[in-house]
Structure 1
Amino acid sequence: MVGSKRNKKSRLAARYTIAYGLLFVMVYPYLYMVLHSFADWSQVDRKMVPSSFSLKSYEWLFAGGETGTPRPWLHSFFNSAFVSLASTALMMVSGVMVAYALAKLNFRGRDTINNFVLFHMFFPAIILLIPTFLIVQNAGLYDSYMGMILPKAVSLWAIFMYTNFFKAIPTVFIEAAKLDGASDFKIMYRIMLPMSKSITTVVFLFLLMERWTELLWDMIVVRSDELLTLNVLLSQMFAPYKTYPGPLYAASVLLTLPIIVMFFIFGKKFQEGMQFNLK
């Protein structure tokens, strides 16, 4: 009896050790980035854990980088936040509407559309980069907020996620609502969405992270300094043939910090949504 208890404790201790070891392996790259963003430049990338710290990397960024010209940090942060939130909102609204139709409505061509969504997800987005740019330019949306937002207004991944979730919701709820005279629009936003808070959190965080870290499209479609996003502003501060590892780590921390904060705010719902996806 005593031996079996000791074996259980040993196995439990081994599991915790492996789990914390794997957690450390996954978290350490970000921890390394944070530590070296505050490290003295003489120790950046030369020690695993720096022993001397300073704010020189952040001072270099906020002082204007290599040119020493002050940059519109707050305005660029606003641009990134506005574009990211607006694009994410449109992707989620379009995702919910299309997914509800594919999951709960019967109409001709539904399976064809569903297969097209799945088929289109296999294509890399960069293939459509030039056609999308030409459409934006011909529509007069070049160098504007709409030029950054509208091409990112639909997410096939969001449609796919919501479609699978809505299919799992019993149809009896929809039939009861229709007997009470509810329209499809009201059913969608009064019944389906409240029942999908967990998956909505997962979709929201992934879409927001994807749009927040977008660089290539914003560099192509924006010309004026007033519309620069944070990613584009940071990319302009590093000369192509020179490296500044400390400021690069500091810039990476600035870019990832909002995503980390959002994850801690919605962490519980995110875990619930991921558990549903893994079922």
Structure 2
Amino acid sequence: MVGHKRKSYTIRYIIAIALLIVMVYPYLYMVLNSFAAWDQIDKSLIPTEFTLRSYEWLLSGGEAGISRPWIRSFINSAIVSTASTALMMVTGLLVAYALAKMNFRGRDSVNNFILFQMFFPGIILLVPTFLLIQNVGLYDSYLGMILPKAVSLWAIFMYTNFFRAIPDSFIEAARMDGASDLKILFRVVLPMSKSITIVVFLFLFMERWTELLWDMIAVRSDEMLTLNVLLSQMFGPYGGYPGPLYAASVLLTIPIVILFLLFSKKFKEGMQFTLK
């Protein structure tokens, strides 16, 4: 019986390791080929000769040798992604708390409207949003990139479901102590929601960091380009250079990987809740 269980565990471990390799290898392949010698790129599963040529080519401006505002673009991406994520989380917290823990007329209608809006692709609002920021003078500015991304219906949905699972007794006890709804939200409810907050933060930041279409439309000057837009402009004429393309992809994923490694424990706890 013991031998049968051991054999069963061994089979499970082998299957788990095989699945892990299948999931991780595409990213590992991208990293390896970003450092591979150019004559070995995409020639084998694991290159045998490595160099920094792809990164040097990328950061030196490509074949034309044109100086690119890499640092400025990285800072722009960091500012826009951080500010947009913060606003989406704050608006998500406020709206979700109202929907989950406050009684007001029309609450169910608001909740249903939010769910209804989630079925519409965001691209249908692209033109009206662009015309709006242009008319109010926010074109080619940080605010023009940040404000249209200040609300996430998905974040509201996730927080609402989580807050509903928090016992009302905690809320009532805080109200009896004279706490306002904002104080209850940020001092009682939010500390109890660390795991789901990490999940929401990572997904929102990743979505905003990899945003391309809106950032291409909302800016025109080189000083305001985000990293995604800069790379897309650069590889328009240089699509035949796979090594630098792999290097650019690695640079784009570094912040996401670092954030996931920092918050992996809370992320797993939050995902366990979302899958219930």
TM-score (norm 1): 0.97
Runs of 4+ in 1 over 3 A off after TM superposition: none
The corresponding residue for 1:51 is 48
- 2:125 matched residue in structure 1: 128
The DSSP-based 3-state class of the residue aligned with 1:42 is helix
Residue aligning to 2:197 = 200
Gaps of 5+ in 2: none
What is the alpha-carbon distance in structure 2 between the residues aligned to residue 72 and residue 118 of structure 1? 41
For each residue in 1:93-136, what CA deviation from the matched residue of structure 2 results, as whole angstroms up to 9, or x when unmatched? Answer: 00000000000111111111101111111111111111111111
CA separation of 1:125 and 1:47: change in aligned 2, threshold 3 A: same
Tell me whether 1:86 sits opposite 2:83 in the alignment.
Answer: yes
For residue 8 of structure 1, the aligned residue among 5, 8, 32 is: 5
Inter-partner Cα distance in structure 2 for 1:216 and 1:195: 36
- Aligned partners of 1:182 and 1:34: how far apart in 2? 51
Q: How does 1:180-259 map onto structure 2 within 5 Å?
A: 180-240=177-237, 242-259=239-256
For residues 131-150 of structure 1, the aligned pairs below 5 Å read 131-150=128-147
1:66/1:238 contact within 8 Å kept:
no
Counterpart of 2:172 in structure 1: which amino acid?
E
8 Å contact 1:66–1:237 — kept in the other structure?
no
Match in the other structure for 1:170: 167
Q: 1:272 aligns with which of 257, 266, 269?
A: 269
Query: What's the CA shift for 1:167?
Result: 0.2
Q: 2:104 aligns with which of 100, 103, 107?
A: 107
Q: CA deviation at 1:65?
A: 1.3
Alignment-mate amino acid for residue 72 of structure 2: H
RMSD: 0.9
SS of 1:193's partner is helix
CA deviations over 1:56-95 (Å, ceiling 9, x no partner): 1101111001321121111111110010000000000000
Q: 1:137-193: per-residue Cα shift (whole Å, max 9, x none)?
A: 111100000000000000000000000000000001111111111111111111110
For residues 127 and 146 of structure 2, the distance between their equivalents in structure 1, rounded to whole angstroms, comes to: 16
Q: State how 1:14-33 maps to structure 2 within 5 Å.
A: 14-33=11-30
Picking from 110, 130, 152, the partner of 2:149 is 152
1:46, distance to aligned residue in structure 2 (A)? 1.4
- Report the CA distance between 1:210 and its aligned residue: 0.3
Match of 1:261 in 2: 258
- Where does the alignment leave 5 or more consecutive residues of structure 1 unmatched? none
Are 2:116 and 1:119 aligned? yes
Partners of 1:7 and 1:174 lie apart in 2 by 51
**Does the 8 A contact of 1:214 with 1:231 survive in 2?**
yes
Measured after TM superposition, the shift of residue 240 of structure 1 is 4.3
Q: In 2, Cα distance between the equivalents of 1:93 and 1:241? A: 40
Question: Equivalent residue for 1:38?
Answer: 35
Find the aligned partners of 2:260 and 2:239 in 1 and give their Cα distance: 34
Residue 239 of structure 1 deviates from its aligned partner by: 2.8
* Number of equivalences: 276
1:169 and 1:112 mapped to 2: Cα distance?
A: 22
Aligned partner of residue 45 in structure 1, secondary structure: coil
Residue identity in the other structure for 2:14: T
In the alignment, residue 198 of structure 2 is paired with which amino acid?
Answer: T
Normalising by structure 2, we get a TM-score of 0.98
